[in-house]
Amino acid sequence: MRYDFASDNTAGICPEALEALLAADRGCQASYGMDDWTAQASDAIRQAFACPQAEVFFVFNGTAANSLALASLCQSYHSVICHEQAHVETDECGGPEFFSNGTKLLLGRGANGKLDANEIDRLVARRSDIHYPKPKVVTLTQSTESGTVYTPAELREVCAHAKRLGLHTHMDGARFANALASLGCSPAELSWRAGIEVMSLGGTKQGMPVGEAIVFFEPTLAEDFAYRCKQAGQLASKMRYLSAPWVGMLQEGVWLRHAAHANAMATRLAEGLRQIPGIELLFPVEANAVFARIDGRVQERLKARGWVFYGFINESGARFVSSWATQPDDVDALLQALREAIIETMAAPSVR
């Protein structure tokens, strides 16, 4: 089976993260995040974001990062506005609602996976009575679940709408590095300078073995957050194994280099798909994910050839995600297999 394009979490550990992990494995270190590696990793994140006052926490995965960050921004009677395709809504098993003791997600629309800023106003203005959970947070995903990116201007607009209505702002940055590499912006420009207060910063899909960071650009919002992590089972006692890979990733722009490579592989795939008659791209390809409309029978034949990928939107939508480890040859092999699957499908007798 070939898992190359099933997701960016099917790849292994990138060399720089692995090297830091192995270096952190030497000798004894303080536990529960009091170690040197965790201090270094936190400093590296603060430095990358040009935000010396930021508070940084390390957790095991993105569901925990999003759920705990959102829970810290609201009470159980509040609500969180997100895009209808947001990971927090579709892929976290109710984690944000659970960890906030019942906060409701309010779903907004928007083209290409991006929340339309006017949806925030609509969802807030819809009701103001006590029978409706009070909107308190807006969360955005960068890059989005559709493989697109919010430009700095789009981010500023969404955050301005949120701020005007007194809402907090959170970013699910599971693929933040891919957005940075795509836009060529600084991390600050795509986060706190645009109005984001708290961010889940992705490590796993960027090439780390495990782990995401939670970054509070507004440190007062981080009050008691360490207790929340501990209670949720997210305080690693050997924290250095979660934090050290960040030191490897953030040195000399390694994370951006890997993200740019993953993006380039997605672009290569998209260009190849455009050459194949009958294939239609569903979204602009702006990061490391490609969504294409492919006949269901062709998809079945591609799967029979061992290629693993996930459907999206409906049975004719397929998603392909590249990573730091994807090679041009992998892209070309997928395209070749797809061309063959199409020829086979055309040659097969049609079923009445």
Question: Which positions touch ligand PLP (CB under 6 A)?
Answer: 61-63, 87, 141, 145, 172, 174, 204-205
Q: Scanning the structure block, which residue is given the tokens 């270094």?
A: 40
- 210 vs 337 by CB, closer to ligand PLP: 210
According to DSSP H, which parts of the chain are helical? 15-24, 36-48, 62-73, 87-90, 95-99, 117-125, 152-164, 176-183, 225-231, 240-250, 254-274, 296-304, 328-347
- In angstroms, what is the minimal distance from the CB of 305 to ligand PLP? 26
- 161 vs 170 by CB, closer to ligand PLP: 170
- In angstroms, what is the minimal distance from the CB of 221 to ligand PLP? 20
**How many CA atoms within 13 Å lie on the side-chain side of 144?**
26
Identify whether the C-beta of residue 316 lies closer than 8 Å to the C-beta of residue 348: no
Residue in 263, 250, 246 with CA at minimum distance from that of residue 324? 263
Identify whether the C-beta of residue 146 lies closer than 8 Å to the C-beta of residue 319: no
Name the DSSP class of 351: P
- 40 vs 85 by CB, closer to ligand PLP: 85
| Torsion of the alpha carbons at 71, 76, 82 and 88, rounded to the nearest 10 | 50
- 33 vs 96 by CB, closer to ligand PLP: 96
- In angstroms, what is the minimal distance from the CB of 153 to ligand PLP? 22
- 38 vs 61 by CB, closer to ligand PLP: 61
Helix (H) or strand (E) holding 134: strand 134-141
- In angstroms, what is the minimal distance from the CB of 321 to ligand PLP? 9
- In angstroms, what is the minimal distance from the CB of 158 to ligand PLP? 16
* Closest residue to ligand PLP: CB criterion: 62
- In angstroms, what is the minimal distance from the CB of 249 to ligand PLP? 16
- 78 vs 205 by CB, closer to ligand PLP: 205
